[in-house]
Structure 1
Amino acid sequence: MNICMAHRGWSGKAPENTLAAIRLALSEPGISAMEIDVQLSRDGVPVLIHDFTLERTTTGSGLVMNHTLEELRALDAGSWFGEEFSDERIPTLEEALLAVKGRLTLNIELKATSDMYPGIAEKVLELLEKHDMKQEVYITSFDHDLIRQVRQLDQEVVTGLIVLGRPVLMLEQMEEAGATILSMGYPYLTRELALAAMDKGYKVVAWTLDDPRDIRTVMSWHADMQICTNHPDRMLALI
């Protein structure tokens, strides 16, 4: 059965990467996976935010990494989407884990390189260990070295490579990184590549699909395709 994955929570209905968006996704039984973005505060706490800078989705400015958790938590992370979300704050990863535990699969994207956020892999894995959630998540990243680092630290956690483009030897890169999830931007993903990856035992996530015609197309490729969307309702209407 095709997997409906809510992108940054239900970001079509609530501000992305907030507890409001997470709760909305949890309220819909048809959503069985959720993607979130994780960075570190200046004092080393994993937090949910996509951009490396604060301006687009908060009332703050500057780099996320230059602000302590206390400073980040003081920002309004919801009014940009709608005044009714003015009380939303940047959540910690731990808050997100506690919200989703036992309810769906969480795709944790590490928005970093290992050099940009030293220790990010260890800190995320520590939280997964603390809350006994290693079997409930994927850890994914554009940075292959970071995924290799996660694999070296913990063989239990499922890992994936995020790809925008159509690299040569894609499946060989997956094997070299020890990843079992291929998360690829839909404009570059073909049915042939998706099926070839699945034949090797990999899971395939297509992102970010919001047009029902595109969603229907990818659903038709294989029953196990995972579709990451800002608008899960559009996909669920087709199932």
Structure 2
Amino acid sequence: MLDFIGTIVLVAAIIVSINALTGAMPISASQRIALSVGAGLWTGLAAALAAANLFLGTNPIGPPVIGTMIALPLVATAVAASISPSVRASLLGMPMPFLIALNLWRLAGGFFLLLAAEGRLGGPFPTSAGWGDVITGVLALPVAWLALRGQASPLVWAWNTFGMLDLVAALAFGIISANGSPLQIIHAGQGSEAVQMLPWSLIPTVLVPMYLIVHGIIFAKLAQGSQRAPG
């Protein structure tokens, strides 16, 4: 039952977030469609690889495959933004309150705690990832509201830093607690095994890169705002 509910929530989070992000970008309709299709294909690829058990820590190619799926969107976005003014303008053109509020979906991190309660995750990974996401999600709307009123620059810096570090810590704990992985340091029951399989594998391979990109854009907008502020 938990997997069934999780599938519905995660697919909804991906579809809504992709459409919201492309809709918020100041780009043409054809570019919006192309970006949405590309994101959809990437999600399909992530699901297909997980279905073939290519993310498992016990699979010799599991760690590099899932690592590539996490890193590639981040690298591609960073490179595109650095070499293309139009890409950079499109990313920075999204409203700050919208980008913050999009993290409301991080409340789904509560699933990590439920999976741990069922004995399907172990070690520090579910506690760190679960509570970190829940806290980020709970604070998203209040911080977005303050940002909309132009009253929350220090708070946005703090919230955004916490939200990004939560994702980085979750990835780190997930990697070093993956049973069978050559990078495993923590040996704690099931470790991070559940997120190496569907539907939960969609979190590290699709949602985590997307939210890391969102946090990066927020930091860029905050820095841009600081540069424009009167000294």
- Coarse TM-score class (shorter-chain normalised): under 0.3
Greater share of residues in strand: 1
Greater share of residues in helix: 2
TM-score normalised by L of structure 1: 0.26
